[in-house]
Structure 1
């Protein structure tokens, strides 16, 4: 199969051009907080304002995660806003989805904030050793 038309390699190229894991974790954190808002009343803790903010902040978390995925040029603004919104769910949405959604949102936002677009992809340890051995061999005058 041609690597240019292979769907897996196309997805890998798309994923490499954006803070994929940060956006995904922020989106999943927002979804988890929304799901805990729908939990049975025996499980739900009524802490803080229950109302529109309880549903608005997790929906905003999901939107910011998707924006990080599909518009990575603005990832700094989205990730800072994502951290603030995720921390706000602690007061408005069952302690941030019982801390799980809160932590997913904060970690995802931090990953998106720290992502560098110009960075080369990491090489596996085996590839680094093989390249180092090739360089040492070339410096010693051995043909490659």
Structure 2
């Protein structure tokens, strides 16, 4: 057993996020065989991820606030504190805070045995987000 001290919060890079987003790493690469990853991600109103997908899927659990999530080609869905959202492997999607709320979620995913964990695409435009 090992206690891992908290690391400093990290600002989400501009090529992966729009707006003010910070994350705290909860579970980073662990010794094999674990491939679990968990971040607590904090979004200011209107802040969001770029389009992205995960090789082994992703689970989001909203801990505070109100957020939005969308799979490519799908509707924008509202997620609230207590909601859990599962995105299957390879599905392109984005998620972030609603226009008038902060939102925090736990982002949980596994790294594949080989290859990249995630693929990142274009930033979500204001039109895609719904700010016209």
* TM-score range relative to shorter protein: under 0.3
User: Whose Rg is larger?
Assistant: 1
The structure where strand makes up a greater share of residues is 2
The structure where helix makes up a greater share of residues is 1
TM superposition score normalised by structure 2: 0.22
